[in-house]
Amino acid sequence: MKALSVDTPIIQMHIEFKELMKKVCEWLPSYTIIAESLNSGEQKYTLESARSMHSDLLQALQKIETLGRQFAEYGEPDSELYVNRVVARLALAVYRRARHFVQNYLPPLQTLPTLKQYVNLTSQRKDELAVRWSEEDKALAELMELVSGKQNFAKMDPSTNPTTKRWQRFFQLPISTSNTYDKRQGKKTTIEYLDSIANKMDLVAGQLMTARQEGQLQIAEELAQELHQLEQEFQKTSSSLNDTESPTL
């Protein structure tokens, strides 16, 4: 049987078919991330560029479906496009592949909000972030007050308060090597480690406030997460001190 030429319409159709499938497979994951971001009210991406990508993907899927129907015509013996049984089997296989591809990839193609919906979503997200940031600022203020109290206690004059002397000795005792924070800090005392965390929290809190004022929402979220981790570490370290029995002096 003579091989089909590369210039044969069915061969050109198959080349286009593969290129369209490749485009959809490469673009759809990125589009899904963008669509989810826009539908949540985030402003990392523009609605216009997302609409353009959605249109391109939809057209590619529609073209794949059209090509699939054209391939099916090559598989019908009564069709003018029928070549032979081998080509017919291949054409029908491509038709089934096209149909399954569209069925699998069209549903995940998320719709985008209208401009009015997007404006409402961004406004709602800003309100939610404002409430969350307010709660975080309140929690931060309470935590910083706790940090300040511990630091002031550590700096009290032992000569005027015997209890202070006793507890300062206790705070400066080596911590068990089983504690994660002690492994990271080496020979640092617990009070020094708490002080370093507090300083780091001050720095991150300042950066967080600046990011919020400048409207850098993504950076603000990352800084808020970092600050939350520092708060957890501080609470964990403080709790380990509170749970440890005081030595007999």
pTM: 0.52
Residue 42 DSSP symbol? -
Residues 8-62 have pLDDT tens digits of 888 899 999 999 999 999 999 999 999 999 999 988 899 999 999 999 999 999 9
167 vs 112, higher pLDDT:
112
Is the confidence at residue 172, as pLDDT, over 80? no
Confidence of residue 6 (pLDDT cuts 50, 70, 90): low
Enumerate the domain spans of the chain. Answer: 9-113, 190-244
- Rounded Cα gap, residues 38 and 42, in angstroms: 5
CB atoms under 10 Å from CB of 1, counted, come to 8
Tell the burial category of 204 from Cβ atoms under 10 Å away from its Cβ (0-12, 13-18, 19+).
buried
Q: Which residues contact 125 (CB under 8 A, 6 or more apart)?
A: 40, 41, 42
